[in-house]
Homo-oligomer: A and B are copies of this chain.
């Protein structure tokens, strides 16, 4: 049923720019969060991981994330002295099969110091060190949702910022040539990291998630946005919905979009039922940076070969591996 465009027509998407839903202390909240992150010293460890490829070295990396959480990643470095451009990678929601090490290695083969962060609680040894004060629906979407201080994605966003700092601190990495990329949840983290860190010079987000929650709840035909719907079913107090939506506003990449200063590229398929096109355009249309969007009429929430080529080209030009 959802194989055909089900959201707004492209001509309307291109103009779709709902008002931001930022709370008055939106920026203050993030400054406060970043200050807290800054209080945790940058610390990481590398352990080589045998991998059947030449000209690249793979490491398991573990670093201290928000509030000191153990965050694992995979780092693949091209052979040679560098300096190499860095590429920070983020994975999709409830995913990262086997840590997606092949992708990480492939990026290194392209000439990047590529580092994938495994999201806390979702994969590997990445630890979600928040003890949430209330119950949630299965999944991560409603963990800590009654308070912006406690919400799950606060830690994740800060881990992402710290991941960039770790990457930038590596010997062979050229700090001035660092990009961020990922799809779905990884696309949201891409935009969030670009909004909250000044390290990246380019951000490439495929069908970003966590955008324009209020519409997503109403229009997404499938996918993890529904965890929010389920949470509201199980907790029917209207005040809870109000508080939850207030919390979500801090993490909505639409609200973070205007903070982004680096070159930003977004892709979206018009039959994407997981991250509806209008939610993606809502965020995109609030970007004030040098930006572009790649739209694919016949694709949903999936790998899009032509998007991949555009992204490769963009990174090539921006990061010059």
Contacts and interface: CB of A to CB of B under 8 A. Distances in A.
A293 B109 CA distance: 28
A259 B55 CA distance: 36
A52 B204 CA distance: 15
Interface of A: 1-5, 51-55, 70, 94-98, 100-102, 106, 109-111, 118-129, 131-140, 217-221, 224, 226, 229-230, 232-236, 296-299, 304-306, 308-309, 312-313, 315-316, 321
Given A52-B316, A110-B53, A218 B127 contact: no
Contacts of A121: 132, 135-136
Given A102-B305, A236-B305, 20 more contacts: A3-B229, A4-B218, A4-B219, A4-B221, A52-B312, A54-B110, A94-B137, A96-B234, A106-B109, A120-B135, A122-B135, A122-B136, A123-B234, A124-B134, A125-B134, A125-B135, A126-B134, A127-B131, A138-B224, A139-B139
- Number of identical monomers bound together in the oligomeric complex: 6
A191 to B, nearest CB: 22
Contact of A126 (B2, B5, B118, B135): B135
A188 B254 CA distance: 43
A304 B298 CA distance: 26
A102 to B, nearest CB: 6
Contact of A135 (B118, B134, B234, B235): B118
Nearest to A106: B106
A3 B228 CA distance: 12
A294 to B, nearest CB: 11
A123 B138 contact: no
Given A52-B316, A111-B54, A219-B4, A306 B236 contact: yes
A8 B176 CA distance: 52
Contact of A128 (B1, B96, B131): B131
